[in-house]
Amino acid sequence: MDVTTFDGDFTYSVTSSTLYAKGEIVADLVRTGLSLERELLDRFDESIARRAYQNRSEAVRDLIREHLVSEEGDKNKVIAATLTMVYDHHRPNLSDRLTEIQHQAHTQVLAATHVHLDHHNCLEVVIMKGRSAELRKIADRILSLRGVKHGKFVITTTGKDLK
């Protein structure tokens, strides 16, 4: 099916197709076009080449997925997340406080990995699953502790609703 629409500023052209393998639907694809400035497209092509994408379509699909995952976090949906932090393990009571917060959030904290970077610094990765607002609060509580030198909270999808 081909559809072309004009909304006053842009013309959109969409083509649909269905891919089959061994008689089963593999993907229902829609072909669409974008209008971009040449410099923007050139920079995008350079970026996707560095990341070893086979084509623009897969890169654009990943950008769309990233946007949808970000929206899951904004809408307080159930997500998976990691909290990666570097902290001074010589800071009094810090290890106990980190453990206490994680135990208080035992339904959201799935696992934690701890490694010693050097004599003073540890790296810890906490893997969580739950509503994004709850996970953000846990991450904020941990990252605000004295002795936590750096941290990053990263959300991702549980994969349930993402194709």
Instruction: Name the fold adopted by 78-156.
Output: Alpha-Beta Plaits (3.30.70)
What pLDDT, on a 0 to 100 scale, did the predictor assign at position 27?
64
**pLDDT below 70 — which residues of the chain?**
1-27, 163
Q: Note if the pTM is more than 0.75.
A: no
Q: How many CB atoms lie within 10 A of CB 73?
A: 19
Task: Map residue 78 onto helix, strand or coil.
Answer: strand
What pLDDT, on a 0 to 100 scale, did the predictor assign at position 96?
96
What pLDDT, on a 0 to 100 scale, did the predictor assign at position 20?
53
Per-domain boundaries in the chain: 1-35, 36-75, 78-156
What pLDDT, on a 0 to 100 scale, did the predictor assign at position 5?
52
Give DSSP secondary structure letters for 79-143: EEEEEEEEEETTSTTHHHHHHHHHHHTTTTEEEEEEEE-SSSEEEEEEEEEEEHHHHHHHHHHHH
What pLDDT, on a 0 to 100 scale, did the predictor assign at position 73?
78
CA dihedral 105, 109, 110, 111 (to 10 degrees): -120
pLDDT tens, position by position, 5-27: 545 555 445 555 555 555 665 56
Tell me which amino acid residue 107 is: T
What pLDDT, on a 0 to 100 scale, did the predictor assign at position 67?
87
What pLDDT, on a 0 to 100 scale, did the predictor assign at position 143?
97
What pLDDT, on a 0 to 100 scale, did the predictor assign at position 30?
81
